[in-house]
Amino acid sequence: MKTQEVFNKVANKYDLMNDVMSFGAHRFWKELLIDWLSPKNKMNIVDVAGGTGDIARRILKRLDGNSMITVCDPNKEMINEGKKIKKYKDKIKWIVAPAEKLPFEDNSFDVYIVSFGVRNFSNIDKALSEAYRILKPGGRFLCLEFSKIQNKNINQLYQYYSKTIPVFGKIIVGDEKPYEYLTRTIKKFHGQNEFKSILEKINFEKVEYRNIFNGVVAIHSAYK
C-alpha cells in the first residue's frame, strides 16, 4: 500500500483512530512537544505533514488564536478534513506539498514542526535538507515520532499490543491494511540516536531528544 493511499483511506477517521490507538495519549505527546517549543505569537511556524492541522490548532489555542500557522501536507483528503474543523479556521494557511519539495523561500520560518510525519517521507534526507533550507538561521526544528522503547519488557508488551492495531483499523476504518502499514513503518524507523545523527549530518546544531513513555515516542529538537 502506497503512503498516499493509506492517508486517503484513513483521512475521515484519522483523528478518531489516533485517540483509539493511543488511548488518547497522542494528545499528551503533542502537548509535550508544544511545551518544549514554548510558542510565541510572533513566531512564523510551519507544520509539515500537518495532516488535519491538529498541532496547529493546539498551538493556536495556547496563543489565544493570536497567530497564523502554515500547515503543509501532500494529501488533499487530510487537508480537506482539517478545513472542515471550524476552530481557528481563519488562522491556518493550508498548503498542499510534500516535505521533499517545499514551496517556501530560503530562511523564511522560525519553527519547523513535524509530528508523526517523518516516518512517511519518501526521502528523509531530502525532506530534512528542505527543513534546514526554509528555516531562518537560529530557527528551530521539532519532530515528534514513534521511536525505540528502551526497556526490554515494556517493548515486548508493546509488540503484543501493536499486533492488535490493525484489528482496531478493521473495526473503525473498515480496512486493516493502513494500520499494518503504520506498525511496519514504526518498526522500520530509526532509533533516537540514529535520527539525531541524521539531523547532525544535515548540519543541524544543538540536537537533543526526549523520550516519552520509555521511548514509545521521542521528540527531537535542533537548531539551524
Ligand X SMILES: C[S@@+](CC[C@H](N)C(=O)[O-])C[C@H]1O[C@@H](n2cnc3c(N)ncnc32)[C@H](O)[C@@H]1O
Instruction: Match 508488551 to its residue by C-alpha cell.
Output: 157
- Contact set for ligand X, span 8-67 (CB under 6 A): 48-51, 54-55
| Cβ neighbours of residue 138 closer than 8 Å, sequence gap 6 or more | 223, 224
Q: Does the footprint of ligand X cover residue 147 (CB under 6 A)?
A: no
Map residue 150 onto helix, strand or coil: coil
Q: Does the footprint of ligand X cover residue 98 (CB under 6 A)?
A: yes
DSSP H helices, 119-212, are 124-134, 152-162, 165-172, 177-188, 192-201
Stretch that binds ligand X, among 81-89, 103-111, 115-123, 195-203 (CB under 6 A): 115-123
For ligand X, the binding residue among 39, 74, 166, 215 (CB under 6 A) is 74
When the beta carbons of 121 and 141 are compared against ligand X, the nearer one is 121
Q: Does the footprint of ligand X cover residue 134 (CB under 6 A)?
A: no
How far apart (Å, rounded) are the C-alpha atoms in residues 143 and 155?
22
Residue 70, classified by CB atoms within 10 Å of its CB into exposed (0-12), middle (13-18) or buried (19+), is buried
Q: Does the footprint of ligand X cover residue 181 (CB under 6 A)?
A: no
Q: Does the footprint of ligand X cover residue 120 (CB under 6 A)?
A: yes
Residues making contact with ligand X (CB under 6 A): 3, 7, 48-51, 54-55, 73-75, 78, 98-100, 115-117, 120-122
